[in-house]
């Protein structure tokens, strides 16, 4: 697989499962061949979340598959990776998570114009079952409305 110029790996379930309150862009500390695997698009943030440890933020459960041209010095696919944010942002996030019971979820893993891996994270509140049903109803009604408009215009 060829290395892509820009990579944009999304967590598609996040906006359905959670109500997004704030978003932040963070850098990621990567080891060895992880950046090459990300540039190949061999990463997933579908079931990942962020957690504080010793006043540092880590992304847990983020999968970066092994790089195809790596030797035996490869990385672990599901290791926890440190996120890089300003100290003030870290303190604010940690306070929100501890006091309000909110959670931090990765939304998009991407490479910027310099080729560095970045991740958009969001401070989220979990949606209730009835909120999810409302989202499904709205989506279905939009689809029906667009079908009616399309039939009307033809």
Domains of the chain by residue range: 8-126
Query: For the ranges 11-15, 118-122, 141-145, which has the lowest average pLDDT?
Result: 11-15
11-55 per-position pLDDT tens digit: 888 888 888 899 999 999 988 788 888 888 888 888 888 999 888
pTM of the model: 0.76
DSSP letter string, 54-105: TTEEEEES-EEPPPTT--S----TT--EEEE--HHHHHHHHHHHHHH--EEE
Q: pLDDT above 90 covers what percent of the chain?
A: 22
84-101 per-position pLDDT tens digit: 999 999 999 888 888 887
Residue 58: the pLDDT is: 92
Residue 2: the pLDDT is: 57
Q: Is the pLDDT of residue 119 over 90?
A: yes
At the fourth CATH level, the homologous superfamily of domain 8-126 is: Small protein B (2.40.280.10)
Question: Could you give the angle at the alpha carbon of 11 between the alpha carbons of 97 and 65, nearest 5°?
Answer: 105
């Amino acid at each position: 697989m060829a290395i892509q110029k820009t990579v944009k790996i999304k967590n598609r379930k996040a906006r359905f499962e959670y109500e997004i309150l704030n978003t932040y862009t963070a850098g990621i500390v990567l080891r060895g061949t992880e950046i090459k695997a990300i540039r190949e698009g061999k990463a997933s943030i579908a079931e990942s979340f962020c957690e504080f440890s010793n006043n540092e933020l880590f992304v847990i459960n983020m999968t970066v598959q092994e790089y195809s041209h790596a030797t035996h010095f490869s990385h672990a696919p599901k290791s926890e990776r440190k996120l890089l944010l300003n100290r003030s942002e870290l303190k604010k996030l940690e306070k929100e998570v501890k006091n309000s019971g909110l959670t931090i979820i990765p939304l998009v893993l991407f490479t910027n114009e310099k080729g560095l891996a970045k991740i958009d994270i969001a401070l989220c509140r979990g949606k209730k079952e009835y909120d999810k049903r409302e989202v499904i109803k709205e989506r279905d009604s939009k689809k029906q409305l667009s079908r009616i408009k399309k039939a009307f215009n033809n």
